[in-house]
Amino acid sequence: MPYFRNIVQAIRTVAAGLRVTLPYHFARTVVVQYPDVEPTVQPRYRGFHTYQIERCVACEACVKACPAACISVGKSGPRKIDKTRNLAVGGAMTRYEIDYGTCLFCGLCVEVCPTQCLKMGSIHDDSCYRREELAVDFIKLAKGGRRTIEPIWMTKPNPPAWVAKARDARRDLDPDKREWMARADDPQYCAELAAQAAARQD
């Protein structure tokens, strides 16, 4: 009879699911004492973005691909890559902002980026006091020599050893890159870079 057959099938389905999940109920719980202990992050983990402003051409491909409309990009004029220095020249960057209050971390913006200046990072923690602080101004970060966010607790004195090491590695940039990052929003400086690139091509 269909009635009893359905009951048997339901029992088998529940048993099949419990066969997978029940062992975890008796498994030893593993707790990582974060942030004192560094968490294990998988290679393809999609954390907060890493942005190389000096290589961004402000094509807005990331803006168009974003399903949450959380990316805002602005420029004073056309930008293109100077292949001799692998540097974006032309107009200045006037805005590059991501609102992590609505970001889905889907990674579509990274896939469409033609210069690969935008990547998914390994930082998973953006502790802050106000919701408005989730909107990250990457031009402001670049002026401070940073490519990605740093949670408030990570900027405090005497962080755990693994935090200090990772933070210093992210901030270890050569002087030229620091200057390009810091002045990417300066129209005059960007025009000078474009003129230098044009002179090398002639």
Q: What residue numbers bound the domain in which 67 lies? A: 49-201
31 within a domain of the structure (yes/no):
no
128 within a domain of the structure (yes/no):
yes
Q: How confident is the model at residue 96 (pLDDT cuts 50, 70, 90)?
A: very high
35 within a domain of the structure (yes/no):
no
Question: Which of the two residues, 200 and 9, has the higher pLDDT score?
Answer: 9
Q: Residue 1's pLDDT is what?
A: 66
21 within a domain of the structure (yes/no):
no
Question: ∠80-134-61 over CA atoms, to 5°?
Answer: 25
How many domains is the chain partitioned into structurally?
1
109 within a domain of the structure (yes/no):
yes
Q: Residue 48's pLDDT is what?
A: 94
10 within a domain of the structure (yes/no):
no
Beta strand residue intervals within 59-130, DSSP E: 71-75, 79-82, 87-90, 93-99, 118-120
Indicate if the pLDDT at residue 137 is higher than 90: yes
Residue 146: CATH number of its domain:
3.30.70
Are 103 and 70 a contacting pair, CB within 8 Å? Answer: yes
25 within a domain of the structure (yes/no):
no
Q: Residue 192's pLDDT is what?
A: 84
How far is it, in rounded angstroms, from Cα 199 to Cα 127? 46
Q: Residue 202's pLDDT is what?
A: 61
First-to-last C-alpha distance (Å) of the chain: 87
Q: How confident is the model at residue 174 (pLDDT cuts 50, 70, 90)?
A: confident
Q: Residue 119's pLDDT is what?
A: 95
Q: How confident is the model at residue 50 (pLDDT cuts 50, 70, 90)?
A: very high
Q: Residue 33's pLDDT is what?
A: 86
Q: Residue 142's pLDDT is what?
A: 92
Are 128 and 90 a contacting pair, CB within 8 Å? Answer: no
Longest dimension (CA), the chain: 87
Q: Which ranges of the chain would DSSP assign to H, the alpha helix?
A: 2-26, 61-65, 108-112, 138-143, 161-171, 175-182, 187-201
13 within a domain of the structure (yes/no):
no
Percent of the chain with pLDDT over 90: 39
